[in-house]
Amino acid sequence: MTQERPSPSRMVELSEAEALELLAGVSLGRVVFSQQALPAIRPVSHIVDDGQVVFLVHDGAAILSPTAERGVVAYEADELDPSRHTGWSVIVTGTAHLVSDSAEVSRYRTKLTPWTETGTAHVIRISPEIITGYRLEADAG
């Protein structure tokens, strides 16, 4: 039996507001940062709070070094349907820093659910500089 190939999709650019709304609607994404001068990627669960991406990390996490220096990072999340070639992808690029205010840390720890039992000791917040997003829509033609 031959599998039918989906038609190519049309790519539609999203506004920053639409992109952040889609990002806020999912809980898992990938943070991209520099580790020993090379790109590194880690999956993390996140929330969007007042236009900023917030996530938890454990002691010893590789991303702690770049955040100590307010390093530039990227954050990407998506929902894609590989069989229909539809969905969306959002990328936020900005500076990451550790949240140090104890009240904020407590608030974020109640809003975020860690995926592992390694102990989530640190909260990181990304302040976006660039927000891009695209939706892949089935071509009507």
* Residue range 3-30, pLDDT digits in tens: 666 677 899 999 999 999 999 999 999 9
pLDDT of residue 58: 86
pLDDT of residue 140: 64
User: pLDDT tier at 108 (50, 70, 90 boundaries)?
Assistant: very high
The pTM is what? 0.88
Q: Could you list the beta-strand ranges (E) of 3-85.
A: 9-13, 28-35, 38-49, 52-58, 72-81
**Mean pLDDT value across residues 122-141:** 90
Let me know the angle formed at the C-alpha of 70 by 104 and 112, rounded to the nearest 5 degrees: 35
Mean confidence (pLDDT) of the chain: 89
Superfamily in which the 10-134 domain is placed by CATH: Electron Transport, Fmn-binding Protein; Chain A (2.30.110.10)
57, 124 Cβ separation under 8 angstroms: yes
141 has a pLDDT exceeding 60: no
pLDDT of residue 19: 98
What ranges do the domains of the chain cover? Answer: 10-134
Q: What is the pLDDT of residues 53-68, one digit of tens each?
A: 999 998 888 888 877 6
